[in-house]
Amino acid sequence: MRVVLGVGGGIAAYKVASLLRLFTEAGHDVTVIPTDAATRFVGTATWEALSGNPVSNSVWDDVDRVNHVRLGHEADLIMVAPATADVLARAAAGLADDLLTGTLLMARGPVFMAPAMHTEMWQHAATRANVETLRSRGVTVMDPASGRLTGADSGPGRLPEPADIFDAALAAVARATHGGDGALRGKRVTISAGGTREPLDPVRFLGNRSSGKQGMALAEAALAEGAEVTLVLAHAEVPAPRGCEVVRVETALELRDAVLEALPGTDVLIMAAAVADFRPAELMDTKIKKTDDGADPVITLVRNPDVLREAVLARQGMVEEGRSEPLVIAGFAAETGDATADPLTHARAKLERKGCDFLVLNVVGTGLVFGQDTNEVLILDPAGGEPVPAGGSKRAVADAVVAHVATLLPA
């Protein structure tokens, strides 16, 4: 994508060279616009060499190209780092006295700012009001990190780490790209997705047919509603959407650890992963070979933990220890129905067993659901109300699930 990277005049400008690298190494085309003050900290040559693009902050260079209009219109993302108190103020006031502020006024895509300044400046009523104004206009303004500042002082005002800015900026782009009205703004949503693999020996594993598509669609839907998304990702056939924090896992045990670790900082957990219920009792450290006597190998399986159930119990523990913020937990169920009961009856029993806040029921049969692009589900709540149908694309199902989550969170 095309990125405009505005650099404010603060000492943290030197860290933005690493941020620029993250963008270029990920294949993005970056045009850097340093303010005049920024070039006192890091020179134009550095920005030109690292970005591979010409650098200017003047509306009087290349006048025939009308740079502020072209850059503002073409950019998929306009970001400013460090956003100094001065740049925040000029952007909030709508000034257009240099190329950066002019480009900000021409922006068609998402605008993202990573502030850095001394604590007193960040906490000053003028800066607070400017940040508020920018946020109310849809600009994403990160909170600065806390720590050592330029002088002897320390406190909130440090530029966040380049990798954190990079992730948060991509999340802002994802929100802008995937639509949504911000129903989950400020919420952290953890989604498990894909299918776990249970190793048998160094070359074999027990896996399942999950493609990960439904989990990815949920991540997109949550991003679109403004959530910060952590994707606990087992094997999947499709890439994770841009803007998620991705925690890679292989086995059910790894997935359990990643989910439980994320839980305290999470507002919503959606368990969309196909978690293996069993794993080989023993992991051979050498390949299982055919034997001369022709004997069939015997593989003993043991039960894996039920991650969804453990998350519900962990939530109970956190509430007993004083957690007051709500934590919504949702599960998926794939049911076929059998001689004893229909899929809905099985799903209601599962919802009660798991103790989560709602269950998304897939009625499965051969060729249905796994790897397909469409899905038909019923959303079941523990009160036994009428199931809510949702269907169509996996994204449509995801939107319905995310909308249901939003009804369970305080406004």
Catalytic residue set: 208
Is 206 a binding residue for ligand CTP by CB under 6 A? The answer is: no
- Binder of ligand CTP out of 304, 361, 369, 378 (CB under 6 A): 304
Residue at 397: amino acid letter: V
d(CA 323, CA 340): 40
Is 401 a binding residue for ligand CTP by CB under 6 A? The answer is: no
Rounded to the nearest 5°, which phi and psi values hold at 278?
Answer: -135, 155
Is 275 a binding residue for ligand CTP by CB under 6 A? The answer is: yes
Sequential DSSP letters for 275-337: --SEEESS--SSPPPP-TT-PPP---EEEPP-HHHHHHHHHHHHHHTT--S--EEEEEEEE--
DSSP assigned state of 263? G
Is 331 a binding residue for ligand CTP by CB under 6 A? The answer is: yes
Contact window for ligand CTP (CB under 6 A) among 24-32, 88-96, 179-187, 300-308: 300-308
- Binder of ligand CTP out of 95, 284, 334, 368 (CB under 6 A): 334
Is 333 a binding residue for ligand CTP by CB under 6 A? The answer is: yes
Is 328 a binding residue for ligand CTP by CB under 6 A? The answer is: no
3-state DSSP assignment of residue 76: coil
Of residues 145 and 408, the one with the C-beta less far from ligand CTP? 408
Tell the smallest beta-carbon distance from residue 192 to ligand CTP (Å): 6
Tell the smallest beta-carbon distance from residue 327 to ligand CTP (Å): 15
Contact window for ligand CTP (CB under 6 A) among 58-66, 103-111, 207-215, 328-336: 328-336
Return the exposure string of 110-143: e unless at least 16 CB atoms fall within 10 Å of the residue's CB, then b: bbbbbbbbbbebbeeeebeebbebbeeeebbbbe
Q: Which element (helix H / strand E) includes 353?
A: helix 343-354
Contact window for ligand CTP (CB under 6 A) among 55-63, 76-84, 101-109, 330-338: 330-338
Site pattern 235..254 for ligand CTP (x: CB under 6 A)? -----------------x--
Residue at 153: amino acid letter: D
Is 233 a binding residue for ligand CTP by CB under 6 A? The answer is: no
Residue pair 135/182 in contact by the 8 Å Cβ criterion: no
Is 308 a binding residue for ligand CTP by CB under 6 A? The answer is: yes
- CB atoms under 10 Å from CB of 42, counted, come to 20
Residues near ligand CTP (CB under 6 A) are 252, 271, 273, 275, 277, 304, 306-308, 331-334
